[in-house]
Amino acid sequence: MYKLVALYHRPMTLSHAPICAISLRALFDDQHRASRVQVEVPLALRRDRLLRIRALLQTHGSALAQAVQADFGVRSPQLTEIADLFVLRTMLSSTLKALPKWIKPVRVHTPIYLQPSRAYLARQPLGVVGVVSPWNYPIQLSLGPAITALAAGNRVMLKPSELTPQTSTLLGELIGRAFAQDELCVVQGEGENPAEFAAEFASLPFDHLFFTGSTAVGRKVAAAAAANLTPTTLELGGKSPCLIDPSCELREAALKIAHGKLLNAGQTCIAPDYVLLPRGREAAFADAFARAVAQLFPTISGNPDYAAIISPHHYERLQTLLEQAEGEGARLQVVNPEGDGVASAKSRDRASRQMAPVLVFGAASHSRLLQEEIFGPILPVVLYDTLDEAIEYINTRPRPLALYWFGTDEVSRNQVLARTVSGGVTVNDTLMHIAHENLPFGGVGESGWGAYHGETGFLRLTLQKPVLVQSSWARGDLFYPPYGKRFDQIMGILKRLI
């Protein structure tokens, strides 16, 4: 059996606790038992747990950013600050402000046939929430779901990615200093098979399992959870389109598309995965995109603001996608402001893994590049002639996690919004809908199910228990058998009233 290393001690102490190897199931049982003993979790304790995470970020944010940089090889601490730490700080701030309101029972209207009883929804913790987080934003996507779960009064077991070992280890140490193991803990497998450990984790009978990652792995997580009837939230990915309307001014749009695509070198679940472009504007878009890249990243190689591809395996996967697309007749346009071929589409720079952006024109519809989520700085451009054609292209594919529309024609925009379905939309920009804390974030269909952020996330990880309090004046006996004339008269009156 796999083991885990859990550093833990009570939050009031400052010294490090001893390292203790315990089984994954034993740790779950510890949290499960605690969640059943303390069903009611008061506001003060929920706030205290959130404030401990805030203090952790304030004190150790720089160290965490350095760990992320070490895991990627090249990724500036400033990128982690804006994409991981700042997002968590805003989430904590808004959650702490709204939490007193969120936890209150919600009165619901009672229909006439049940009056004078009263009814409400009691908001209770689910119990133990498992969180499986990815490597691309390893702090935000680990602690974001944990913050939501703790706000809802749950206990949390967090399994971070094995591809960011330094970040995962540091998170485990810091959380172990701030939380008891039956509140919040980080687990990492000691074995050499991460997939086996992840499967064991997903097979635990959590009260809810939260997974962020690829669609392929999401299917496996959902299957493992189903054996225990564990409800899941799956934040996946997919082919998020960027639709450029004929009314769009390309220069400003290209800058925003380049930023959304190249943030973290394209290793973002809601990055634009391909562009739908009006036919005849290829050269203009390519020029505008190249100018935008040069503005954002004057250099590629050695530029700390331009993140490396996470691993040699992922780097080679991207190179293979390009080679296959080119072999099938696609035209590749490497966008390298340095103009020296460094990190080009043909390079094998395994040392830095900084891969220059590549525009791909004319990719075959069946190519892997247009079928699989790219997760890198490659941007296929798909041409269209009419808006109906563009909408049909989107709708004949799995529903995306995000959709982006650029233009000034409101009629066209409203057509796209009404006739397509996606997890979220940003109009005339990219990524920004995820930054709005009061908008739910989640997928639909193959891009995931369930959503979090704001009250939506709180309710996702909360049991809204219906409660009816019967009145001493109630006459429910009017509906009891034996049925007769009086019953028929009462039902006749109610039919007219409802």
Looking at the annotation, which residues are catalytic?
235, 269
Helix (H, G, I), strand (E, B) or coil at 444: coil
Amino acid occupying residue 405: W
Backbone angles phi, psi at 389, to 5 degrees: -65, -40
Helix (H, G, I), strand (E, B) or coil at 162: coil
Question: What does the alpha-carbon distance between residue 152 and residue 35 come to, in Å, rounded to a whole number?
Answer: 12
Question: What does the alpha-carbon distance between residue 286 and residue 362 come to, in Å, rounded to a whole number?
Answer: 13
Question: What does the alpha-carbon distance between residue 296 and residue 308 come to, in Å, rounded to a whole number?
Answer: 16
Cα→Cα distances 143→9, 101, 183, 407, 439, Å: 19, 22, 14, 36, 18
Question: What does the alpha-carbon distance between residue 97 and residue 318 come to, in Å, rounded to a whole number?
Answer: 43
Amino acid occupying residue 190: E
Kind of pairing between the strands at 184-186 and 274-278? unpaired
Within 13 Å and on the Cβ side, how many CA atoms surround 41? 26
Buried b (16+ CB within 10 A) or exposed e, 367-381: bebbebbbbbbbbbb
Buried b (16+ CB within 10 A) or exposed e, 428-466: bbbbbbbeebebbbbbbbbbbbbbbbbbbbbbbbbbeee
Residue 372 DSSP symbol: S
Contact between residue 183 and residue 129 where contact means Cβ atoms under 8 Å apart:
no
Question: What does the alpha-carbon distance between residue 70 and residue 64 come to, in Å, rounded to a whole number?
Answer: 10
The residue among 325, 311, 230, 229 whose CA lies nearest residue 265 is: 311
Q: What radius of gyration, in Å, describes the C-alpha atoms of the chain?
A: 26
Question: What does the alpha-carbon distance between residue 73 and residue 164 come to, in Å, rounded to a whole number?
Answer: 10
First to last CA, the chain: 60
Helix axis angle, 194-202 to 215-226, nearest 10°: 50
Contact between residue 56 and residue 178 where contact means Cβ atoms under 8 Å apart:
yes
Cα→Cα distances 193→26, 163, 188, 198, 199, Å: 20, 13, 11, 9, 10
Count of all residues that appear for the chain in the document: 498
The residue among 184, 155, 189, 154 whose CA lies nearest residue 171 is: 184
Contact between residue 424 and residue 241 where contact means Cβ atoms under 8 Å apart:
no
